Amino acid sequence: MLSPSEGNALSRPGQVDALKQVLPDFAAMSNLTMRFRGSFRSQGTSRLGRLIRMLSTGE
């Protein structure tokens, strides 16, 4: 039997996909969040620097 939190976690990817289809801004922010997360988890600062430069130039 699943606890309530486990049940919610299992349905979350479907909810996120539905939100991305309906709300383009949500999709963009979700993508940006994942890129920042990857940059912060990397060992060096160059990846974060490239991301910041890319965002500041609007690419």
What pLDDT was estimated at residue 34? Answer: 87
Q: How confident is the model at residue 59 (pLDDT cuts 50, 70, 90)?
A: low
Band the pLDDT of 30: cuts 50, 70, 90: confident
- Domain extent, residue 22, equals 4-57
Q: What is the mean pLDDT of residues 31-53?
A: 83
- Residues in contact with 50: Cβ distance below 8 Å, sequence separation at least 6, in sequence order: none
Q: How many domains would you assign to the chain?
A: 1
Q: Give the max Cα distance, the chain.
A: 50
pTM here? 0.55
pLDDT-derived band at 49 (thresholds 50, 70, 90) equals: confident
Cα-based torsion angle of the residue sequence 41, 44, 46, 50 in order, rounded to the nearest 10 degrees: 0
